[in-house]
Structure 1
Amino acid sequence: MADEEKDEGSTLLKFIEKWAITPEDAKEISRKYRQQSESKYPNDSAAKHQERVSDKIIARYAKLSAMSGGATALTGIIPGLGTALAALGGGLADTAICMKLQVDMTCCLAEAFGYDLNRQDARELTFLIAAGGALEKAGEELGVKIASKAGVRLLRQYLKGAALQAVKAFFRRIGIVFTRKALERALPFGVGVFIGSSANYALTKYVGAQAKEWFIIDREMPEAGPDEAEAA
């Protein structure tokens, strides 16, 4: 059983690494919302624009997650989705799509706060924040709250050398926790769809809120590193 759960976590991570949003697409989404914000509120500070863009990004991905929870065969989320999901099977499929969307959302948020997703450390950071937020929402103890000064320091520390190992560990735990929770979806048609939609929406909103707060704290703490967001 333990080996099976470990394999699920590894499969989940590989799926998301393959299908996650590209840096270029994340930049385009963030840029579009930033232009809208600057056009409507030209006198606002950079920090205000970052936070307003973040809210737009979170709302976008929460809606997408609700759609994926109601119908995991949504072909618009991932090109070739049917083939990709066939390799995952059963309960892991919905977890994979929901986590993919949360990673995509966090990538867009990172772009909004000035991170360069072409850098490996920035990319790994988005995986850590998204996975950490999802585990927190599921009631899993991480030692510190992701959206806190301690959480910022922890993830910064990981980025100095242990980020990949931390990402693997986080997704191993997600593979265990969320595939078990997916059993709740195996209910009569209609009830299961409602649970999937509402649960995915709430989870993504939570992860988005924690990610936004993480980036705000990171922006305001000293020694934020070479990718520190523009000064407010």
Structure 2
Amino acid sequence: MAAEENDDSKLLKFIQRWAILPEAAREIASKYRRQSESKFPKDEPARHQERVADKIITRYAKLSAMLGGATALVGVVPGLGTALATLGGGLADTAVSMKLQVDMVCCLAEAFGYDLNSQDARDLAFLIAAGGAIEKAGEQLGVKLASKAGVRLLREYLKGAALQAVKAFFRRIGIIFTRKAMEKALPFGVGVVIGGSANYALTHYIGAQAKEWFVLDREMSEAEPGEGQTA
């Protein structure tokens, strides 16, 4: 008999199934880019990228704060009730929150020039979102995510071990979830579990770390031709 799926496996499969589509992420990033270029036509491309990133982070932090209401949840995932029924309980809270954070990082990747039709770009978004959540929970990744060492670490994963790294990161989230659930202090939940303000803070933190990662990646790529974006 096959072993029952662990929470981390269920969580990852849920988010892989329901994460934002590349064209939807591109539409969001492009809309904010057009607004920035219209209002600040003389700005350098890098400044537009960072302004768009701020808009995306604010958008998703506010949406995350709204997730206590059933009405808001319906718009986050089509067929949400059926999808979440396979998860159940607190894990469903974690799944919806993590889906939003992955969606946010996907949009940020688009804003910084990554093509989400590339598996590398998609894997990168999952790694950054999960890594930020792990750090916010007080755990260590070995290096700070939003640092030059963090950029190099994720670049190395993308050279061949991205899928294993994604699974490992979500496994750690599953362990954190299980421990915190026992303590009745979930770090990733939504709504009544930790409240709108905590949802906002968590998502904003992950977004800020993701933005800093992409800025460093851009700067390092400019200083080290041939390195950086492969997507």
TM-score clears 0.5: yes
**Does the 8 A contact of 2:120 with 2:230 survive in 1?**
no
Q: Distance in 2 between matches of 1:145 and 1:26?
A: 26
Distance verdict in 2 for CA 1:226–1:103, change over 3 Å? same
Matched with 1:211 is: 210
State yes or no: 1:224 paired with 2:228: yes
**1:152: how far off?**
0.1
SS in 1 for 2:113: coil
Task: Quote the residue 2:116 is aligned against.
Answer: 117
* 2:81 match: 82
- Structure 1 residue aligned with 2:160: 161
1 CA distance for matches of 2:132 and 2:185? 21
- Per the alignment, residue 69 of structure 2 pairs with 71
Q: Is the 8 A contact 1:91 1:179 kept in 2?
A: no
Q: Structure 1 residues 14 and 143 mapped into 2: Cα distance closer, same or farther (>3 Å)?
A: same
Q: CA deviation at 1:66?
A: 1.0
Query: Residue 184 of structure 1 corresponds to which residue in structure 2?
Result: 185
Q: Residues 197-223 of structure 1, C-alpha deviation per residue, up to 9 Å, x if partnerless?
A: 122111100000000000000000021
CA positional deviation for 1:194: 7.5
- Please give the per-residue CA displacement for 1:134-153, whole angstroms capped at 9, x wherever unaligned: 00000011100000000000
SS in 1 for 2:76: coil
Distance 1:45 1:27 in 2: 20
Contact 2:151 2:216 in 1 (8 A): yes
Name the CA distance, whole Å, in 2 between partners of 1:225 and 1:54.
Answer: 17
Check the 8 A contact 1:106/1:208 in 2, yes or no.
Answer: yes
Runs of at least 5 residues in structure 2 that lack an aligned partner in the other structure: none
Match of 1:128 in 2: 127
SS of the counterpart of 2:138?
Answer: coil
The letter of the residue matching 1:205 is H
Letter in 2 for 1:168: K
Q: State the Cα RMSD in Å.
A: 1.7
Cα distance in 1, alignment partners of residues 139 and 198 from structure 2: 16
Aligned length: 217
Deviations 1:8-46 (A, max 9, x none): 000000000000000000000000000000000000000
The 5-angstrom pairing of residues 28-67 of structure 1 reads 28-67=27-66
Provide the residue aligned with 1:145 in structure 2: 144
Q: Is the 8 A contact 1:72 1:97 kept in 2?
A: no
Q: CA 1:37/1:181 → structure 2, altered by over 3 Å: closer, same or farther?
A: same
Q: Which moved more, 1:204-213 or 1:71-80?
A: 71-80
The answer for the alignment partner of 1:23 in structure 2 is 22
> Aligned letter for 1:184?
A
SS at match of 2:75: coil
Distance in 2 (CA, whole Å) between partners of 1:142 and 1:194 is 26
Contact 1:92–1:179 at 8 Å: present in 2 too?
no
Listed one character per residue, the Cα deviations across residues 88-123 of structure 1 (whole Å, up to 9, x for unaligned) are: 100001100010000000000000000010000110
| CA distance, structure 2, for counterparts of residue 55 and residue 96 of structure 1 | 24
Match for 1:225: what amino acid?
Answer: Q
User: What TM-score, normalized to structure 1?
Assistant: 0.89
Change (3 A) 1:226 1:141: closer
Contact 2:106–2:116, Cα closer than 8 Å, also in 1: yes
State the alpha-carbon separation in 2 of the partners of residues 111 and 214 from structure 1. Answer: 14
Range 73-82 or range 176-185, more displaced = 176-185
Q: Kindly indicate whether the alpha-carbon contact (under 8 Å) linking 1:71 and 1:193 is maintained by their aligned counterparts in 2.
A: no
